[in-house]
Amino acid sequence: MTNIRDVAKSAGVSVTTVSRVLNNHPYVSEEKRKLVLKAIEEMKYHININAVHLTKGVTKLIGVVIPFINHPYFSSILDGIANEARKNDYKLILFQTDYDLDKEIEALEMLRMKQIDSLIICSRECKWSIIEEYETYGPIVVCEDGENLGVKSVYIDHYQAFKTGLDHLVNRGHKRIGYCIGRRTGKNSEQREAAYLDTLEKIDEPVHEDWIFDQAYTIVDGEKVVHRFMHLVERPTALLVTSDQVAAGILMQCSKEHIRIADELSIISFDNHPISEYLQLTTIDLPLEQMGKELLGAVLKPDPVRNRQMPFRLIERKSVKTL
């Protein structure tokens, strides 16, 4: 493999000069620059970026910890991150965790070993204290309320977002409300459950454990939800659904089962992806791509703002009936 020294020799200059033209430094005479360029061309020289990484202690690589990539919620965030990364000339290295703690630690370790300059954690499994510890090795930003701990965060207040949906339903006269969610565990899920329980308490309604439908990730999962819904002795009049996709599945299955959306079952979904407009779903818009963009921004800039909350807003369409 031909290296910078070979080029220098062949061009009759020093390695420094070669390095300078390689990095577009000033203070190189046009004459020598041409000489070097010619040598590079002739010898088919190409820089070894690992040596650069070692020398500079930086890789221009950012790690992204993400549970899945084939879920619209996360792939939207990832899209936002990826686009912004490209703009800033960073590349992404993926740590798909399936919510596995070990995979997350692995990513943290890569930060420590300087394979990546910084780390974006889209879904946290490990303790805050662990993250704080690793922060000495490079910037870390978590997509979850940092709660004014040391860790930087860019996040959506899922408690308030959920509450907004709940309140909308309550204001429309609904009292019998259930919800669909991916998993019951994890910070975001807990926040949503808290909002749910708080609201029920406020309107003095009992909790129906069987009105909480979990394992709802995809459009196909909507089918199961509707099946379970139909077998209920007591049915809710409204459902909060944490993804437009699942809501779409519910709509489709309801149509098959002749359950009239809004009339018999009101739906508020989340994300405001194109499909929700198509289906005229009342939904809560979550600025996912934007959040991805800001996650990357946060990891890059030595911004003093540690906890950045993203806005959300309810978009009224036609899936909620006023009782």
Partner DNA sequence: CTGTTAGCGCGTTCAT
Partner DNA sequence: ATGAACGCGCTAACAG
Interacting residue ranges for its own copies, rule: CB under 8 A? 1, 46-51, 53-54, 57, 59, 61, 69-70, 72, 75-76, 78-79, 82, 86, 91-96, 109-110, 112-115, 218-220, 223, 248-249, 252, 255, 274-275, 278-279
- Separation of alpha carbons 147 and 126, rounded Å: 15
Residues in CB range of 82: below 8 A, 6 or more apart: 92, 292
Helical H runs in 172-256? 187-202, 221-230, 244-256
Q: Where are the beta strands (DSSP E) in 157-224?
A: 177-180, 212-213
Contact in structure between 241 and 178 (CB atoms under 8 Å): no
Shortest approach of its own copies to residue 50 CB, angstroms? 4
Shortest approach of DNA to residue 12 CB, angstroms? 7
Shortest approach of its own copies to residue 112 CB, angstroms? 5
Angle 72-87/288-300 helices, nearest 10 degrees? 40
Window contacting DNA (CB under 7 A); options: 55-63, 118-126, 133-141, 258-266: 55-63
Tell me the sheet residues that pair with 96. 66
Residue 3 binds DNA, judged by CB under 7 A:
yes
Which H helix or E strand runs over 181? none
Out of 37, 43, 47, 130, name the contact with DNA by CB under 7 A.
Answer: 47
- Separation of alpha carbons 250 and 279, rounded Å: 11
Q: Which does 5 bind (CB under 5 to 8 A by kind): its own copies, DNA, none?
A: DNA
- Number of residues engaging DNA in binding (CB under 7 A): 28
Tell me the sheet residues that pair with 120. 64, 141
User: Would you give the distance in Å from CA 136 to the centre of its chain?
Assistant: 23
Residue 43 binds DNA, judged by CB under 7 A:
no
Shortest approach of its own copies to residue 161 CB, angstroms? 22
Would you state the structure tokens that stand for residue 198, as one six-digit string? 């708080």
Out of 10, 13, 116, 144, name the contact with DNA by CB under 7 A.
Answer: 13
Residue 5 binds DNA, judged by CB under 7 A:
yes
Residue placing its CB nearer to DNA in the complex, 47 or 212: 47
Residue placing its CB nearer to its own copies in the complex, 90 or 159: 90
CA angle 121–123–124, rounded 5-degree value: 80
Out of 52, 105, 194, 252, name the contact with DNA by CB under 7 A.
Answer: 52
Residues that bind DNA (CB under 7 A): 1, 3-5, 12-17, 19-20, 22-23, 26-29, 31-32, 47-48, 51-52, 54-57
